[in-house]
């Protein structure tokens, strides 16, 4: 009898190496043709399941999988979409399982962050209730590094390799110039509740007085007087000061310093924390302040991906298949560290309920005592994650990414409106 198919989907904000996980899932599944017939990918995560917009990956040649692995963004598309509770919307779940059944899906590999792991959990539980034979394994990814129970999240290492490099380079530029007024550079990075990305900028500071000189984290209430004093001290010592600012920094009242907009779903778009910090420094200290905003660049910079991160992203995909085939379900793959020096790690699994919809912020021991930088413990923990370069191919001077026109499988069910 033909074995069942596997479904793979990408969800949430994408990363520079999420496609390495896709690649890992596809490659590992191909090694077990007796257990998994083919890997079908959903377009735009669970939305692609609901709309039955599916892609058969069995045609991809090995060189195309390598091209996929070296391309940032979600090759199959991602989404930000929360399923309703099944109790409130049974039709939604019925539709999903109709699609899974129509395509003989027996394995679900859902690649995402905290929220996506909640989706995976909802589907695993629903399958159990309806006795649909579905093995569900989550595959972690997020530049935010805020998934619990894994030592780090694939996508994070590449993001901070890019951010720390950018910080180092911009600060060298800043240091080159000379002017009567002090000079300040502010780099705004992502991170609404967790300061992992801002902390990662701190890796550039490999010696006393190296940039960044100040790191502002959402976990530490923004104390304006204290920050201004630190900036002033740095400028008086060096002539300049480079600062990493998480977009989600909050004042002592717990409210974000800056927010741009709220969409109809109530999702607050943060942004502008860097501009606010820049404006306050300029107004209070009279320095010349430049500010940069990393935005998508920090999660898409595949040209500066970490080889370690790429390897881990691939491994959590491979291991998801192996775990599924060994009978595990309702779990998420996770990175376990056994040693920092030398850096040793392996992949394990963790129950989805210990991960879903939970958020891991920066622990206190990763923040320097004064709250204005990272600690040595953070450096020791984070440095291995940015180790190694793995460049994409280049053509005509630019990275050559694989952007295929995905051919969608014929639909077997009537249309459905999400």
In this chain, which stretch among 24-32, 87-95, 106-114, 265-273 interacts with a second copy, using CB under 8 A?
A: 265-273
Q: Which residue has the tokens 């090759």?
A: 75
Interaction of residue 370 with a second copy, rule CB under 8 A: no
Interaction of residue 70 with a second copy, rule CB under 8 A: no
Q: Binders of a second copy: how many residues, by CB under 8 A? A: 78
- Is the CB of 34 or the CB of 263 nearer to a second copy? 263
CB contact at 8 A, 386 and 160: yes
Tokens of 36: 């998994």
Query: Using CB atoms within 10 A of its CB, is residue 253 exposed (0-12), middle (13-18) or buried (19+)?
Result: exposed
Phi, psi of 119 (to 5 degrees): -60, -45
Applying CB under 8 A, among 40, 100, 386, 390 the residue interacting with a second copy is 386
In this chain, which stretch among 20-28, 124-132, 271-279, 310-318 interacts with a second copy, using CB under 8 A?
A: 271-279
Could you tell me the CA-to-CA distances from 270 to 190, 273, 280, 298, 322 in Å, in that order?
A: 9, 8, 18, 15, 39
Interaction of residue 279 with a second copy, rule CB under 8 A: yes
- Is the CB of 258 or the CB of 323 nearer to a second copy? 258
Applying CB under 8 A, among 117, 127, 164, 316 the residue interacting with a second copy is 164
Contact positions with a second copy (CB under 8 A) in 336-355: none
Applying CB under 8 A, among 103, 302, 314, 373 the residue interacting with a second copy is 302
Applying CB under 8 A, among 2, 178, 208, 341 the residue interacting with a second copy is 178
Element (H, E) at 238: helix 224-238
Measured distance CA(128)–CA(19) in Å, rounded: 29
Interaction of residue 376 with a second copy, rule CB under 8 A: no
Catalytic one of 144, 146, 309, 310: 144
- Is the CB of 294 or the CB of 330 nearer to a second copy? 294
Beta strands at 135-140 and 331-339: parallel, antiparallel or unpaired: parallel
The DSSP result for 110-129, as a single string, is: EEESHHHHHHHHHHHHHHHH
The SS3 assignment for 289 reads strand
Interaction of residue 293 with a second copy, rule CB under 8 A: yes
Contact pattern from residue 180 through residue 219 relative to a second copy, giving x for each residue in contact according to CB under 8 A and a dash for the rest: -x---x-----------------xx-x-------------
The nearest distance, CB 235 to a second copy, in angstroms, is 16
Interaction of residue 383 with a second copy, rule CB under 8 A: yes
Measured distance CA(53)–CA(44) in Å, rounded: 9
In this chain, which stretch among 88-96, 275-283, 324-332, 344-352 interacts with a second copy, using CB under 8 A?
A: 275-283
In this chain, which stretch among 69-77, 93-101, 223-231, 316-324 interacts with a second copy, using CB under 8 A?
A: 69-77
Applying CB under 8 A, among 294, 317, 330, 371 the residue interacting with a second copy is 294
Q: How many CA atoms lie within 13 A of 336 on its CB side?
A: 9
The nearest distance, CB 84 to a second copy, in angstroms, is 16
Establish whether the linkage from the previous residue to 158 is cis, with ω within 30° of 0. no
Interaction of residue 139 with a second copy, rule CB under 8 A: no
Applying CB under 8 A, among 35, 226, 232, 303 the residue interacting with a second copy is 303
Of 146, 175, 155, give the one whose Cα is nearest residue 10: 155
Contact positions with a second copy (CB under 8 A) in 26-55: 44, 47
Measured distance CA(106)–CA(104) in Å, rounded: 6
CB contact at 8 A, 349 and 333: yes
In this chain, which stretch among 108-116, 304-312, 319-327, 366-374 interacts with a second copy, using CB under 8 A?
A: 304-312
Measured distance CA(307)–CA(288) in Å, rounded: 37
Q: How many CA atoms lie within 13 A of 39 on its CB side?
A: 28
Beta strands at 214-216 and 135-140: parallel, antiparallel or unpaired: unpaired
Interaction of residue 147 with a second copy, rule CB under 8 A: no
Measured distance CA(27)–CA(414) in Å, rounded: 32
In this chain, which stretch among 22-30, 93-101, 179-187, 351-359 interacts with a second copy, using CB under 8 A?
A: 179-187
Contact pattern from residue 89 through residue 128 relative to a second copy, giving x for each residue in contact according to CB under 8 A and a dash for the rest: ----------------------------------------
The nearest distance, CB 21 to a second copy, in angstroms, is 14
Measured distance CA(39)–CA(125) in Å, rounded: 22
The nearest distance, CB 3 to a second copy, in angstroms, is 30
173 catalytic residue (yes or no): no
Contacts of 79 (CB under 8 A, 6+ apart): 11, 12, 44, 45, 46, 47, 48
The catalytic residues are 144
């Amino acid at each position: 009898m033909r074995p069942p198919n596997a479904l793979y989907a990408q969800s949430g904000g994408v990363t520079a190496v999420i496609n390495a996980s896709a690649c890992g899932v596809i490659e590992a599944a191909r090694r077990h043709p007796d257990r998994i017939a083919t890997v079908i990918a959903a377009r735009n995560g669970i939305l692609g399941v609901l709309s039955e917009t599916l892609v058969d990956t069995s045609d991809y040649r090995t060189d195309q999988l390598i091209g996929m692995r070296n391309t940032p963004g979600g090759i199959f598309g991602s989404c930000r979409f929360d399923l309703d509770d099944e109790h409130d919307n049974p039709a939604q779940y019925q539709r999903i399982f109709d699609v899974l059944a129509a395509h003989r899906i027996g394995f679900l590999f859902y690649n995402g962050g905290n929220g996506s792991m909640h989706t995976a959990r909802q589907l695993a539980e629903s399958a159990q209730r309806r006795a649909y034979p579905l093995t569900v394994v989550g595959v972690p990814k997020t530049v935010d590094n805020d998934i619990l129970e894994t030592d780090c999240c694939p996508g994070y290492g590449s993001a901070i390799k890019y951010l720390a490099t950018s910080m180092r380079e911009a600060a060298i530029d800043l240091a080159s110039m000379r002017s009567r007024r002090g000079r300040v550079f502010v780099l705004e990075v992502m991170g609404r509740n967790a300061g992992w990305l801002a902390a990662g900028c701190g890796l550039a500071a490999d010696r006393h007085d190296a940039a960044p000189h100040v790191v502002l984290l959402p976990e530490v209430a923004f104390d304006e007087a204290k920050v201004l004093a630190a900036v002033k001290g740095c400028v008086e010592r060096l002539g300049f000061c480079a600062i990493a600012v998480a977009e989600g920094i909050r004042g002592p009242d717990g409210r974000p310093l800056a927010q741009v907009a709220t969409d109809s779903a109530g999702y607050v778009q943060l942004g502008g924390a860097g501009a606010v910090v820049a404006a306050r420094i300029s107004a209070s200290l009279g320095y010349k302040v430049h500010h940069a905003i990393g935005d998508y660049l920090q999660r898409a910079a595949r040209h500066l991906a970490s080889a370690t991160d790429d390897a881990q992203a691939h491994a959590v995909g491979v291991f998801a298949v192996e775990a599924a085939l060994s009978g595990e379900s309702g779990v998420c793959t996770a990175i376990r560290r056994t040693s920092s020096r030398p850096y040793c790690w392996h992949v394990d699994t963790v129950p989805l309920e210990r991960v879903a919809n939970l958020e891991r912020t920066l622990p206190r021991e990763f923040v320097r005592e004064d709250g204005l930088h990272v600690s040595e413990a953070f450096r020791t923990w984070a440095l291995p994650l940015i180790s190694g370069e793995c460049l994409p191919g280049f053509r005509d001077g630019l990275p050559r990414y694989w952007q295929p026109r995905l051919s969608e499988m014929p639909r077997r069910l009537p249309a459905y409106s999400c």
